Structure 1
Amino acid sequence: MKTRKTLGLIITLVFGLLLSCQHTNDRTGTSENSSVAKSAKPSETGYVDVNGLKMYYEVYGEGKPLVLLHGSYMTIPLNWSHAIPMFKGRKVIVAEMQGHGRTRDIARKISYEGMADDVSGLLKYLQIDSADILGYSMGGGVAFQMAIRHPEQVRRLIVLSGSYAHDGWWPDVEASYSSITADIFKGSPIEKQYDSLGNDPKHFPEFVKKVISIDLEPYDWSKEAKKIKAPLFMAIGDADGIQYEHALALFRALGGGKMGDIHGLPKSRLAILPGTTHIGMMYRMDWLVPMIDDFLNSDLKTTAPTF
């Protein structure tokens, strides 16, 4: 019971504080990113029929396609409104996963594999052969599954605070999932957003239970993840829910763990951000976007530099 109440307090306070700071900056104009975010307008919005689902999506800007995949219980506004304008010169595609936001739930279990198939269908609908895929938290799991199940559609992969196995989370974090219910979200931005986007408030408890079910069932894609062909940039916080060893194991399997001055740079990259929590990762985009842009725009030469 104590864990449950603590989780609820943390979720409400952290999201409330972060969104309050964002809204304050919007009013005062003290944050360039927030003021820009207010003026961001999608060039295309709509619904696409994929796998029995009517998936809501938005498209921003022009350039090489970049898909942003949100975390559990999140929506496009909650997860990405402040980040979308920061990706300059790109066609940014955002969608809301099954049961989230404006994408209504259907009589189908929520799974990482199913959500990846939905994203694959969206790209086909938009006639995009290959895209860079960026996923946060739950969206990171979806991103991993995109690279595993639909590798031909993934040019490069970015995973923020995401895992490729259930035990990649710190043990106490994984143990806390079974205590998550609708009660801990009471009064939070997540509950308010669910209601404001036309969902029936009576179904919110069912929504919470169904989403967390994907992390109550053990999963392990270690073998498949270590064979991913797309270059990967994985970032976690030093106070994240993801274990350092989990990220390091994959980085090493994909060519990391060597001195680049001797062996050359690996095609994949790893970042551990200081003073950064799991939820706080969303508000490190001013740090992350330059690193992501450099990763996406680099030619990924692996030879050691010469002097």
Structure 2
Amino acid sequence: MKKPFLNFYCAMALVVSVIACRQPVPKETAGKQSSDSSSQQMPVPKDTGYADVNGLKLYYEVYGQGQPIVLLHGSFMTIPLNWSHIIPLLAPNRRVIVAEMQGHGRTRDISREFGYEAMADDVSGLLKHLKVDSADVLGYSMGGGVAFQMAVRHPAQVRRLIILSGTYAHDGWWPDVEASYAGINAEMFRGTPIQKQYDSLGNDPAHFSEFVKKVMSIDLKPYDWTAAVQQIKAPLFMAIGDADGVRYEHALELFRAKGGGKMGDIHGLPQSRLAILPGTTHIGMMQRTDWLIPMINEFLDADLTAPPPTF
């Protein structure tokens, strides 16, 4: 019998299946607000294509206009699986850039090991391809690791950094979560939207098992970017759930290094922020749009040099 934590990605597949079942809006009505704000439909992208970066043809889509924000998906995800309910909420006021990382979705795999650093270099190349000098960067789970590396390796391209349920060291996960990664295999995804999108968006179905192994490989070897991440200059907003896979202490350690851990009424507010969402799991984080989107917008739009309010 499988231990409960080995069903982690099976549960994720069930959650994303709900998102994937939302039907795309017809082109002639795309972009119009739904009468139900909780079920807004995907707008039509303003631009799609492939960026030639580091030997990879990186698939991307661009929505909306305004200050650019890059969304970096989690393991095994695609643009529709990870972002179909997020893009409609951000695109009305921002230029939303989304990409599918190496081997995911419409981005074909290449003979290169999976690595957070390499994927961050790919995102950097995408921004250059789009002639975007600097952008806000938001990463979820695996994408959080990519986002951390973007800010470490390409700091001039990152204006503000948002990490949702991501880690900057392998032991940032609860020990049982980290231990579960060795048990993740392709059979856990058979018949799920994750496998169906892998098969239908252009990658070779015969290599699905190899793909799963490659994705998991980045979390089966130790990594620790603590020193480099603590030196990131970009303001940071980190959010985890109170029932997440990320240890509270891991998030708190970084927040303290970024100026947190002091009473703001006495010392002033730090430029960076931390949120621990109640009743929220790692997978459930992406369903908390009613909480996350207002916090994200406020963080991105805030004058972080302003003094705290006085009473």
With the shorter chain as reference, the TM-score category is over 0.9
Q: 1:244 to 1:30 in 2, by over 3 A?
A: farther
Whole-Å separation in 2 of the counterparts to 1:21 and 1:72: 16
Aligned-pair CA distance for 1:26: 8.6
The superposition leaves residues 244-299 of structure 1 with CA deviations (integer Å, 9 ceiling, x where unpaired) of 00000000000001111111110000000011111111111221010000000001
Matched, 1:52 2:49: no
The superposition leaves residues 64-116 of structure 1 with CA deviations (integer Å, 9 ceiling, x where unpaired) of 00000000000000000110010131000000000000000001001000000
Whole-Å separation in 1 of the counterparts to 2:19 and 2:96: 25
The superposition leaves residues 33-63 of structure 1 with CA deviations (integer Å, 9 ceiling, x where unpaired) of 42x224x110000001000000000000000
Query: Alignment partner for residue 128 of structure 2, among 124, 128, 150?
Result: 124
Alignment partner, residue 254 of structure 1: 258
1:264/1:302 contact within 8 Å kept: no
Aligned-pair CA distance for 1:20: 3.2
Matched, 1:133 2:119: no
State the SS of the aligned residue for 2:218: helix
1:33/1:85 contact within 8 Å kept: no
Tell me the amino acid that sits aligned with residue 106 of structure 1. I
Alignment partner, residue 195 of structure 1: 199
Equivalent residue runs for 1:91-240 within 5 Å:
91-240=95-244
1:66/1:93 contact within 8 Å kept: yes
Whole-Å separation in 2 of the counterparts to 1:26 and 1:42: 12
Aligned-pair CA distance for 1:189: 1.4
Whole-Å separation in 1 of the counterparts to 2:175 and 2:5: 16
Alignment partner, residue 32 of structure 1: 37
Alignment partner, residue 72 of structure 2: 69
2:19/2:84 contact within 8 Å kept: no
Tell me the amino acid that sits aligned with residue 157 of structure 1. L
Q: 1:13 to 1:108 in 2, by over 3 A?
A: closer
State the SS of the aligned residue for 2:219: helix
2:170/2:223 contact within 8 Å kept: yes
Deviates further, 182-191 or 123-132: 182-191
Whole-Å separation in 2 of the counterparts to 1:13 and 1:214: 21
Whole-Å separation in 2 of the counterparts to 1:156 and 1:258: 21
Matched, 1:270 2:271: no
Structure that is richer in helix per residue? 1
2:241/2:277 contact within 8 Å kept: yes
Deviates further, 211-220 or 295-304: 295-304
Tell me the amino acid that sits aligned with residue 2 of structure 1. K
State the SS of the aligned residue for 1:94: strand
Query: Alignment partner for residue 249 of structure 2, among 221, 237, 245?
Result: 245
Alignment partner, residue 82 of structure 1: 85
2:5/2:176 contact within 8 Å kept: no
The superposition leaves residues 140-195 of structure 1 with CA deviations (integer Å, 9 ceiling, x where unpaired) of 00000000000000000000000000000000000010111101111211111111
Alignment partner, residue 7 of structure 1: 6
Q: Sequence identity of aligned pairs in percent?
A: 69
What TM-score do the two structures reach when normalised by structure 2?
A: 0.92
Aligned length, in residue pairs? 302
Aligned-pair CA distance for 1:25: 9.4
Matched, 1:285 2:285: no
2:16/2:193 contact within 8 Å kept: no
Whole-Å separation in 1 of the counterparts to 2:208 and 2:52: 23
Please give the root-mean-square deviation of Cα atoms over the aligned residues, in Å.
1.9
Q: 1:25 to 1:259 in 2, by over 3 A?
A: farther
